[in-house]
Amino acid sequence: MHVDSLGWNEYFNVRFHEFHGCGYTPGRIAGQSRDRYMIWGDFGALSGEVSGRFRFETKTRSDFPVVGDWVAVRPHGDEDSATIHAVLPRRSAFSRKRVGSVTEEQILASNMDFVFVVAGLDQEFNPRRLERYVVTAWDSGAMPVIILNKADICSDLSKYRDDAQKSAPTTPVVTMSAKTGEGIDVLDQYLQPGTTGVLLGSSGVGKSSVINRLAGEERQLVTDVREGDSRGRHTTTNRELIVLPGGALIIDTPGLRELQLWADEEEVDAAFSVIGKLAEKCRFRDCRHEQEPGCAVLEAVQSGKLDEARLRNYRKMRREQRRLSTRKKLHEFQIEKQHVRKTIRSHERSINRRER
């Protein structure tokens, strides 16, 4: 198992330079279970955990390793274990606001080239939910690709494809069936050797079936969805990195029950670029596209050029993003304050030990 086959490139090589000659070697996080990590590299596969110094100096949970991260590790001689001393800067990261009332980022996967947003062509297909996933995908820094799965049970494939394309005009849309294999070859153009993709979507859309089809074997357990509402249990319970037969890598993730935004204003606008282009023709520069006179966006809705439901979803996410931005600033201030206090206490303890 060589790092080059795991996605290592010049970007990471440059950022690992400071660790050369320190007894560290690069590795990639392939799995996580609580505070233990599976690490792949030239050394093979090792189980590891972060060092005490790393734990002390880290400010937030989002700074800890996640699946897809490249890390600087020190293997423990003949043991099948290692210590993680640093996480290399991420090229991309898929994040959401952590579930609950705390304003904190939760990184689900990192260093991927493509974000495959999977939607099922059944009763659970929801263009508005798709828009939310695409906003978060754009925010990751990777290229989003929409996979419409379960084409074998869809009676009007062109309608669903059109609906998905309207929800994400600048995002490629692929239709396929993980069950029959129909359309799976279209993904070959993205899944080249050494590239990394991540599969995201709600529970029951068939991500595990897609993984199994790509891997050519039953890598992931598959369960049936309920007939009444097309919902399914979380077949995948942990995030993990999987090497595909062709040399590409894929990160599987559990189905998400909730996807709260962690995106910036620019990413929301990027996912709704059609509205942005229309807004350039609005009479007022700060137009909110609600009741303002001379609003080109509202005129597009009235003429049928823009779906009103899409505009409502855009407004909703912009409001959510503005609230999040305010809460982020407060949270960052609190984190920095806690870090300063921790540093001062550590310094005081060090002085007391010397005086003894």
Domain ranges of the chain: 3-87, 93-252
Give per-residue pLDDT as tens, 93-113: 988 776 665 666 788 899 999
The CATH number for 3-87, chosen from 1.10.10.10, 2.40.50.140, 2.40.50.460, 3.40.50.80, is 2.40.50.140
Name residue, tokens 């590795």. Answer: 27
Q: Which helix H or strand E contains 287, and what residues bound it? A: none
Structure tokens at 240: 């993990």
Q: Which helix H or strand E contains 212, and what residues bound it? A: helix 207-215
pLDDT at 348: 63
Name residue, tokens 């560290």. Answer: 24
Q: For the chain, what is the total number of helices (H) and then of strands (E)? A: 9, 13
Contacts of 125 (CB under 8 A, 6+ apart): 119, 148, 160, 163
Blockwise average pLDDT, block size 10, the chain, 356 residues: 92 93 92 92 94 86 93 88 95 79 78 94 84 86 94 90 90 94 93 94 86 80 48 57 94 72 73 87 89 92 91 87 69 58 66 67
Compute the Cα dihedral for 321, 327, 331, 332 and give only its sign.
Answer: positive
pLDDT at 22: 86
Report the distance separating Cα 329 and Cα 95, nearest Å.
Answer: 17
pLDDT at 269: 80
Report the distance separating Cα 94 and Cα 107, nearest Å.
Answer: 6
Structure tokens at 322: 């503005």
Q: Alpha-carbon Rg of the chain, whole angstroms? A: 23
93-252 and 3-87 share a CATH fold: no
CATH superfamily of 93-252: P-loop containing nucleotide triphosphate hydrolases (3.40.50.300)
* Strand stretches in the chain, DSSP E: 25-33, 36-41, 44-50, 70-75, 81-87, 93-97, 105-110, 114-120, 143-149, 173-175, 196-200, 240-243, 249-252
pLDDT at 60: 80
